[in-house]
A and B are shown apart, each in its own frame.
Chain A
Amino acid sequence: MEIKHLPTTKDMRPEEFKDNDYLLRMAEELNREGAGVVLGLADKLINWGRSNSVWSLALGTSCCAIEFMALGAARYDMARFGFEVTRNSPRQADLLMVLGTINYRMAPVLKRLYDQMAEPKYVVAVGGCTISGGPFRKSYCVVDGIDKIVPVDVYIPGCPPRPEAFFYGMMQLQRKIKMERFLGHRDRNEVPQGMERKEEKA
């Protein structure tokens, strides 16, 4: 089934989002490969479920983690979006939310956490530190961008980003999830080299 419209979320128009051309590229690729109507509908349903039930594993190392807590608190209330359940066990989480600087000692831990998560899994890099090393990019032991370690789906810049910016980033992620294909298609294409996926599938 052809993807005609860009995905969006409630109360936002697609053109109010940034970086739409990335999704357009994804749509183009999907449309080229094509899939049946039934599969396409089933996909849509599954993607709807996944995008509205993103349970996060918060890898909070520094400042952004506190803003993430504020996100969960009453004033911003991420439960509204269905991100309510933060699982502390990587096995049960869908989203690795990297909040704060990753240094050389933490990097293998980050990688291991990512490997421990069950598919489908997503990574959101929050704040300058995770995107580029931020204030500490010139340091002797800070990873300048976690995209060198794990594939990142959404970057939320800020130092730290304000809670609304978190939500905006999460909505971007929802849009991206809605563009994926679960049935009749390899599900993710940016698994970097050396990161073999597990054989068993549910």
Chain B
Amino acid sequence: MEQSFLDYYSLEPLTRWIHDALCGVMSEDWAVFLESLVIGVAILLAYAVLAVVLIYMERRVCGAFQCRIGPNRVGGKGGLLQVPADVLKILTKEIIRLKNSDHVLYELAPYLVILASVLSFSCLPWNKGMAVIDLEVGVFFVLAASSIGILGILLAGWSSNSKYTAIGAVRSGAMLVSYELSLGICVLTVVILSGTMSISGIVESQADGWNIFKGHIVTLIAFVVYLISGNAEANRGPFDLAEAEQELTAGYHTEYSGMHFGFFYLAEYLNLFITSGIATTLFLGGWMPLHVAGLDGFNAVMDYIPGIVWFLGKTFFVVFLLMWIRWTYPRLRIDQVLNLEWKYLMPLSLLLMLVMAVLKTCGLVF
């Protein structure tokens, strides 16, 4: 299919031009180094800005679910500056060092968590030609990178030398390892459907229809299963057992203060975004506009909207879905969490993968 407008929005020519221009004045190594630096800073900036946006969104959304207004006194009627105020405060807050903790691991843990989420964050396909890391096995890279976060949580819980944090860490360990399974299998379902593991490849393969529509009911269910296990991976309600405020005061990060705690807090929201972003990529077509086969006029109109808008729009829609879930259900108990995974989600996702494989081989998908 011709995608004139999409190509128009593509950043690839621009980046290529910059690269060429830089290579003209310096050696290629230096150019790459410089570009990496700029991109790194840009990612971190985007990370921070998105965190602020997400926290603000969470507050407004949960306020609305709870028949109340939410922040409206800081920064105009909408309370727009509420989160910046929080950030400012947390930046200037004392970081407490514990006497009887494992200092190295204790200090390391928040950085591990933030590292994991930045790594997987950089894999998101923002727009055509705007994916920062685009590996051939991009999907696996995301899964692998996000697993580092579990290590951070485990270390945080263990090194704090407190019983509450230890329980929280063990809980999250048991939970995350389990949910990684159905998460991975759901991702595999899509990989089978698209026939590629590269993230940009998966997005490109959805040009004639998003995966969620292409795979009959199978991808729809896989989408739901992915959302559930992704929610669990992001440690968010109703799977926030590791924090479980009412049981473990603040779970694995009970002993962290100041910016260290801020890192956990940020990572929680960014993981939410990453989960939604990956869901968008895998099931909702990433930056790909909504295309309906046969309606060329409609498709052309859709193409006028830039890919990044599509991507953010879809991602925030999924974020809203996850918030809706979070602000509705009570928390599960650890054995229920594991039951849900091993008795219901795992068999289901295996079945989905099997059916998808059969459909694909028989050529029954769109």
List residues of chain A with CB under 8 Å of any chain B CB. Answer: 9-10, 45-46, 48-50, 52-53, 73-75, 77, 79-82, 84-85, 87-89, 91-92, 94, 116, 118-120, 182, 198, 200-202
Interface string of B243-271 (1 = CB under 8 A from A): 00100011001111111010000000000
Residue B178 CB within 8 A of the other chain: no
B contact face: mostly helix, strand, loop, or mixed: loop
Check B73–A10 contact: CB distance below 8 A. yes
On chain A, the residues within 8 Å of B255 by CB distance are: 89, 91
Check A77–B68 contact: CB distance below 8 A. yes
How far, in whole Å, are A202 and B63 apart by their CA atoms in the complex?
Answer: 33
Check B245–A88 contact: CB distance below 8 A. yes
On chain B, the residues within 8 Å of A74 by CB distance are: 66-68
Check A80–B70 contact: CB distance below 8 A. yes
Check A198–B88 contact: CB distance below 8 A. no
Residue B87 CB within 8 A of the other chain: yes
On chain B, the residues within 8 Å of A75 by CB distance are: 68
On chain A, the residues within 8 Å of B254 by CB distance are: 89, 91
Give B85 Cβ to nearest chain A Cβ, in Å: 4
Check B82–A52 contact: CB distance below 8 A. yes
On chain B, the residues within 8 Å of A50 by CB distance are: 85, 88-89, 92
How far, in whole Å, are A116 and B81 apart by their CA atoms in the complex?
Answer: 29
Q: Would you list which residues of chain B between 214 and 266 have a CB under 8 Å from chain A? A: 245, 249-250, 253-259, 261
Check A80–B69 contact: CB distance below 8 A. yes
How far, in whole Å, are A119 and B71 apart by their CA atoms in the complex?
Answer: 24
Known: A89-B254, A92-B257. A118 touches B95 (CB 8 A): yes
Q: Would you list which residues of chain B between 65 and 94 have a CB under 8 Å from chain A? A: 66-74, 79, 81-82, 84-90, 92-94
On chain B, the residues within 8 Å of A82 by CB distance are: 71, 73-74, 79, 82, 85-86
Q: Given contacts A49-B89, A52-B85, could you give 8 more A-B pairs where the C-beta distance is less than 8 Å?
A: A46-B92, A50-B92, A53-B86, A77-B69, A80-B69, A82-B86, A91-B96, A92-B261
Check B87–A198 contact: CB distance below 8 A. no
Number of residues of chain B lying within 8 A (CB) of chain A: 38
How far, in whole Å, are A133 and B73 apart by their CA atoms in the complex?
Answer: 34
How far, in whole Å, are A200 and B93 apart by their CA atoms in the complex?
Answer: 12
Residue contacts A-B, CB under 8 angstroms, 6 given:
A77-B69, A81-B71, A82-B79, A84-B70, A89-B253, A119-B94
On chain A, the residues within 8 Å of B16 by CB distance are: none
Check B73–A81 contact: CB distance below 8 A. yes
Residue B97 CB within 8 A of the other chain: yes
On chain B, the residues within 8 Å of A120 by CB distance are: 92-94
On chain A, the residues within 8 Å of B92 by CB distance are: 46, 49-50, 120, 182, 202
Of chain A, the residue at the smallest CB distance from B76 is A10
List residues of chain B with CB under 8 Å of any chain A CB. Answer: 59, 63, 66-74, 79, 81-82, 84-90, 92-97, 245, 249-250, 253-259, 261
How far, in whole Å, are A48 and B79 apart by their CA atoms in the complex?
Answer: 14
Of chain A, the residue at the smallest CB distance from B160 is A91
How far, in whole Å, are A10 and B261 apart by their CA atoms in the complex?
Answer: 29
Give A44 Cβ to nearest chain B Cβ, in Å: 11
Of chain B, the residue at the smallest CB distance from A46 is B92
Check B88–A48 contact: CB distance below 8 A. yes
Give B162 Cβ to nearest chain A Cβ, in Å: 10
Give B109 Cβ to nearest chain A Cβ, in Å: 14
How far, in whole Å, are A91 and B164 apart by their CA atoms in the complex?
Answer: 14
How far, in whole Å, are A33 and B295 apart by their CA atoms in the complex?
Answer: 73
On chain B, the residues within 8 Å of A119 by CB distance are: 93-94
How far, in whole Å, are A75 and B69 apart by their CA atoms in the complex?
Answer: 9
Check A118–B63 contact: CB distance below 8 A. no
Of chain A, the residue at the smallest CB distance from B262 is A92
On chain B, the residues within 8 Å of A182 by CB distance are: 92
Known: A52-B74, A82-B73. A87 touches B250 (CB 8 A): yes
How far, in whole Å, are A144 and B314 apart by their CA atoms in the complex?
Answer: 58
On chain A, the residues within 8 Å of B96 by CB distance are: 91, 116, 118, 198, 200
Known: A89-B249, A202-B93. A53 touches B70 (CB 8 A): no
On chain B, the residues within 8 Å of A80 by CB distance are: 69-73, 79
Give B264 Cβ to nearest chain A Cβ, in Å: 10
Give A5 Cβ to nearest chain B Cβ, in Å: 19
Set A48, A79, A88, A92: member contacting B85, Cβ < 8 A = A48
Of chain A, the residue at the smallest CB distance from B55 is A85
Check A77–B258 contact: CB distance below 8 A. no
On chain B, the residues within 8 Å of A45 by CB distance are: 88
Give B91 Cβ to nearest chain A Cβ, in Å: 8
On chain A, the residues within 8 Å of B63 by CB distance are: 77, 79
Known: A77-B70, A80-B70. A89 touches B94 (CB 8 A): no
